[in-house]
Amino acid sequence: MDQGYKGEEMKTKIVLIGILPILLMSLIFHVYGEELKILESQLNKNSITGVLQNPYNFTIGSITVRAEFYDKEDGHLVGVRDFGSVTEDELKPNEKSSYKIPEYAGETESFPKSDFVVKAEGVDMTNMEEVSFEELIGDINNLSSALQSIPNVEIEVAVDENGTRHIVNKTLIYEDNNTNN
């Protein structure tokens, strides 16, 4: 290698079209999400169950529940289960709902044998507007068209003798197979 990097070269292809929708959805829920109050949590044989409450003076909807597992000794995160379900779709101020997080929610392994914390968030439904099915399909089509115009990026990474990774080249790959460095 003429850049002075030693070690094995690796190539990673990042496809922005596949990653961008996921990033947009997580951004929406984290920017606009309201944290709900967890009143009870218990670890059962194959699930975590409990009760949560809306502590706000407005209605909360689109509620998501997840369990985070932490190492008992050093406190670092060792697992997440983020496909929990809530009994109620929306909670008015101070209303409660039960929840359940199955053991294999998004995972193939059993719950980690560690401490856990349950977290729940939802969206303020006060100023939500109803969107027709036709409007939703139109928005999805517009997003699909915009995402198709984003080129793929191929990044070449070199690993030095210390295991440190360095980007040594990037290439934009367009649908007509032309490339720009």
Residue 150 falls within a domain, yes or no?
no
Domain that holds residue 60: 36-124
Q: What is the CATH number of the domain that holds 72?
A: 2.60.40
Neighbours of 173 (CB within 10 A): 15
Largest CA distance in the chain: 65
Question: With 50 as the cut, is the pLDDT of residue 15 above it?
Answer: no
pLDDT of 35 reads 92
Q: What are the pLDDT digits (tens) for 109-152?
A: 788 888 899 999 998 888 777 777 788 788 777 877 776 676 67
N-to-C CA span, the chain: 18
Q: What are the pLDDT digits (tens) for 31-85?
A: 457 899 999 999 988 899 999 999 999 999 989 999 999 988 888 898 888 888 8
Residue 4 falls within a domain, yes or no?
no
Residue 159 falls within a domain, yes or no?
no
Q: φ and ψ at 141, to 5 degrees?
A: -65, -40
Q: Which residues contact 15 (CB under 8 A, 6 or more apart)?
A: 152
Give the highest mean pLDDT range of 21-25, 62-66, 101-105: 62-66
Structure tokens at 69: 């597992």
State how many domains the chain has.
Answer: 1
User: What region, left, alpha or beta, does residue 140 occupy, with left being phi > 0 and alpha being psi -120 to 50 degrees?
Assistant: alpha
Residue 179 falls within a domain, yes or no?
no
Residue 75 falls within a domain, yes or no?
yes
Neighbours of 135 (CB within 10 A): 11
Give the whole-angstrom CA distance, residue 154 versus residue 16. 10
Residue found by looking up tokens 């401490």 in the block: 115
Q: φ and ψ at 19, to 5 degrees?
A: -85, -35
Neighbours of 43 (CB within 10 A): 15
